[in-house]
A and B are shown apart, each in its own frame.
Chain A
Amino acid sequence: MNKKFLKRDLEYILSLFLSILVSLLIGAFIMIANGRSPLLGYGALLKGAFGSKYNIATTLAKTVPLVLTGLATAISFSSGIYNIGGEGQLYLGAFAAAYVGITFTALPKGIGILLAIVAGAVVGGLYAYLPAILKVKYKIDEVITTIMLNSVAVLFTSYLVNYPFATTKGKMGGTEIIAEGYHLKRLIKLSTLNTSIFFMGFIAIIIYYLMEKTSAGYDYKMVGQNSLFARYGGINDKKQMIMAMVISGALSGMAGVFEVLGVHYRFLQNISPGYAWDGMLAALIVKNNPIGVIVMSIFLGALKTGSVSMENATSIPSELVLVIQSIIILFIAGEAGFKEKFKELNLKRKSKQKVGEKNA
């Protein structure tokens, strides 16, 4: 079927656009209320995010973990199983990559990197497999188990890097630096943007293809929309849910891998400032559409990068961006409600017009 944009897709994109616009407007009011110029503020934000090669590179570097964890959310949520454990899977994946990087130091460059990526994906996937099995076999709510497993993973890796794997050079809560051969090449001077963005692009294409073009993607979607219908139609709904969860965990794990191989070159106990949560945000805002996840990740990445410059240039606190993000979420959550109200108003107006016509 030639996929034209359906009316409801267009409607959604429009309402999304409006939500973002209104949120930015509210942000502007907050700036005005504090005696600052929104033009200067947003100008600085925009410049900070896209103003120079370096700034663009920093923005893009931020999007790598967001896209991967966003896709992780998209594939699990659209299959009707809710992986909220991205952060934990990211930590374990990152640690696995660091472990490979400090253990197999003699491997040829390409092979080492691949091994690290695979290790991170496998560990992340396995860590998601556990709650998936609990959900499917024993009906234990995966939302709760994955949230709790986040803490387990973060604290466990924190223990590992402070005791058995702690670096000998200073007390910093990190592993040794991984071997030279594992370092992903930096692309722009001074910025952390590295070749992981190509890996990310490749992975995103695969996930997009899987979700939108294949029979397996169809199965995931149907299980997510109506699992009884899927089972009735011959799909093994439990198997699909487990698979979706494992893929989701693997994606989050890889997000961690790239933080190690491309940015820090070692595992740090606070390696993620909540990337998985921001990625989830991106996926929720665009209703699990894989292309939307990429666009939204760039947007969120830009807000993050730009906010720092904004604070430096205009002394508007960077936390304002959090406020704007929250307002967007509020609008999106209210989308259905707003739509109903809008339709009602429209109908009322129309029926009034009709009455008027009759009277006239």
Chain B
Amino acid sequence: MAEKLIELRNISKRFPGVLANDNVSLDIEKGEIHAIIGENGAGKSTLMNIIYGLYEPTQGEILFKGKPTQIKSPLDAIGLGIGMVHQHFMLVPSFTVAENIVLGNEPKHKKLFIDYKKAVAITEELSETYGLKVDPHEKVESLSVGIQQRIEILKVLYKGADVLILDEPTAVLTPQETEELFEVIRKLVNDLGKTVIIITHKLQEVLAISDRVSVMRQGKMIGTLQTKDANEQILAEMMVGREVLFDELYKKESSKKEVLSVKGIKARDNRGLVALNGVSFNLKAGEILGIAGVEGNGQSELVEVLTGLREMEEGEFIVNGVEAFNKSPNEIRKLGIAHVPEDRLATGLSKDASIWENLLMGIQHEEPYAIKGVHINKKKVKERTDRLIDEFDIRTPSGDLPVGKLSGGNMQKVVIAREFSFNTPILIIAQPTRGVDVGAIEFIHSQIIEKRNKGAAILLVSAELDEIFRLSDRIITIYEGKITGEFLNGEITKQEIGLYMTGKHTEKAEGGEKVE
């Protein structure tokens, strides 16, 4: 009965040196929620960008309502009623909600001036029709990420979209916001007859929201399933192409001696706004302390302050009994802190340098890698490079290859190999598996746990709540530069922690029930 709305037939898209889509075929039926899943680099976004007219396919054809159609630009796509909400929002922060929604197709009076009143009316009407509550007069910069996403969706609907493509819509949302978004999607599809294509790599979400799911791997379409016939195991195997074991991680207990403590840390972000407003916690040997928070609530600044990359305004920072207030990154490293930064390309690596050069950072002046601290001992460096490549399963033909030529997962392994090889008592790890494929995630998690079991103290910052819950012994939540809660893992559910991450715990703290 279902009418085929969009049909992709044997689509291939080639970029210089990469075949991003390889002979992909896909049907989108009217009125369905269709999930596209796959690891990073599987070609999901490329395929969606082809539908939205941002890329032209190298080969293959697109049928819209059964007719061969050329989509040469987003304007064509919008004309066909296809709209896309990108992973990174494209809103003007200093404009109001109403201005953002009508941007590009503004109601005018006298053909010259923007009719702001009408824009507000349009916004209110859209908001009413689709049940997406927004305040038309509010400026976008003061709104939460979840609301901003609503505005993106309204923007697309304003342009008359019947098909909405959502690219990784939940990546930046809390569990509550994700649930709200799903409500919206269900309403759009069930009550208003829209069609939704959702790109994601989170398996649970696929199972929760979609009617059908298509899996991509290495540019190829592996298959399309009815969601009711799928489960996590099946989908994971289709994504990775081999059996994936979600093993329970073995945790060994050791003595819990405090090795790091901070008290009342204050710091500003790059724009000079307060990012950390009196943060205090401590970290013990043999534990993983997870920091949960919505991105942009001070986690990045906290990590930078603790590793000497950002100045702190006040506070106390003690490492193994030594005051480390505003010491340089080098001095802090000497105190026994290794650091896996959140952005490996900006901070953690030099992409033009070879793997061995990247692995050498930090010990380039030390025996035996530098003879008398001057002459680099290529032989010893090569031995170590080869050992780490082997130990950390870095997939490369040679240690001479520039790091920039590796995949995201292998680049991350280079960073982790280097930082873990220093055998420091303290590790500060931020977003260890961001943009990393499933196989590498398993490996990185097991390495982190191994470090913990050997008695290292680990501070883990991650935007993936699953990761925090999987690895941490203790969890603290951060919201607007303040610590809002501290829990032992197991004491609290993801839903509850979501409230602490958004500062709403005070409203519901009394009524909140603990579910285990």
Contacts and interface: CB of A to CB of B under 8 A. Distances in A.
Interface of A: 1-2, 4, 6, 8, 213-216, 218-219, 221-222, 225-226, 228-236, 340, 343-344, 347, 351
B315 to A, nearest CB: 21
Interface-central residue, B58, B364, B399, by most chain A CB under 10 Å: B364
B83 interface: no
Nearest to B304: A232
Interface in B130-159: none
Interface in B364-399: 364-365, 370, 373-376, 378, 381-382, 385, 399
A233 to B, nearest CB: 4
B511 interface: no
Interface in B10-58: 14, 16-17, 58
Nearest to B307: A232
Given A213-B376, A216-B374, A234 B16 contact: no
22 contacts: A1-B356, A1-B400, A2-B378, A214-B375, A215-B365, A215-B374, A215-B376, A218-B364, A222-B353, A222-B361, A225-B350, A228-B309, A229-B347, A229-B349, A230-B361, A232-B341, A232-B347, A233-B329, A234-B330, A236-B330, A343-B17, A347-B16
Interface in B334-368: 339, 341, 346-354, 356-357, 360-362, 364-365
A213 B371 CA distance: 11
Nearest to A343: B16
B118 interface: no
B328 interface: yes
B505 interface: no
Q: What 6 A-B pairs have minimum CB-CB distances, sorted nearest first? A: A234-B330, A233-B361, A225-B350, A226-B350, A215-B370, A215-B364
B333 interface: yes
Contact of B378 (A1, A228, A236, A347): A1
Contacts of A2: 378
A233 B361 CA distance: 6
B329 A234 contact: yes
B329 A344 contact: no
Given A215-B376, A216-B374, A232 B16 contact: no
Contact of B347 (A1, A221, A228): A228
Given A214-B375, A215-B373, A340-B16, A232 B360 contact: no
Contact of A1 (B58, B307, B399): B399
Contacts of A213: 375-376
Interface of B: 14, 16-17, 58, 307, 309, 328-330, 333, 339, 341, 346-354, 356-357, 360-362, 364-365, 370, 373-376, 378, 381-382, 385, 399-400, 402
A241 to B, nearest CB: 15
B376 A214 contact: yes
Given A1-B356, A215-B373, A351-B14, A234 B333 contact: yes
A340 B339 CA distance: 36
B64 to A, nearest CB: 25
Contacts of B385: 1
B364 A219 contact: yes
Contacts of A214: 370, 374-376
Contact of A221 (B341, B353, B402): B353
A344 to B, nearest CB: 6
A6 B356 CA distance: 14
A225 B403 CA distance: 12
B376 A232 contact: no
A351 B364 CA distance: 45
Nearest to B352: A225
Contacts of B374: 214-216
A231 B14 contact: no
Contacts of B362: 233-234
A233 B347 CA distance: 9
A238 B315 CA distance: 26
B414 to A, nearest CB: 12
A232 B400 CA distance: 22
A214 B378 CA distance: 10
A114 B333 CA distance: 42
Contact of B382 (A1, A8, A232): A1
Nearest to A219: B364
Contacts of A344: 16
Contacts of B352: 225
Nearest to B365: A215
A232 B356 contact: no
B377 to A, nearest CB: 10
Interface-central residue, A230, A234, A344, A347, by most chain B CB under 10 Å: A234
Contacts of B400: 1, 4, 6
Contacts of B309: 228, 231-232
Contact of B339 (A4, A226, A232): A232
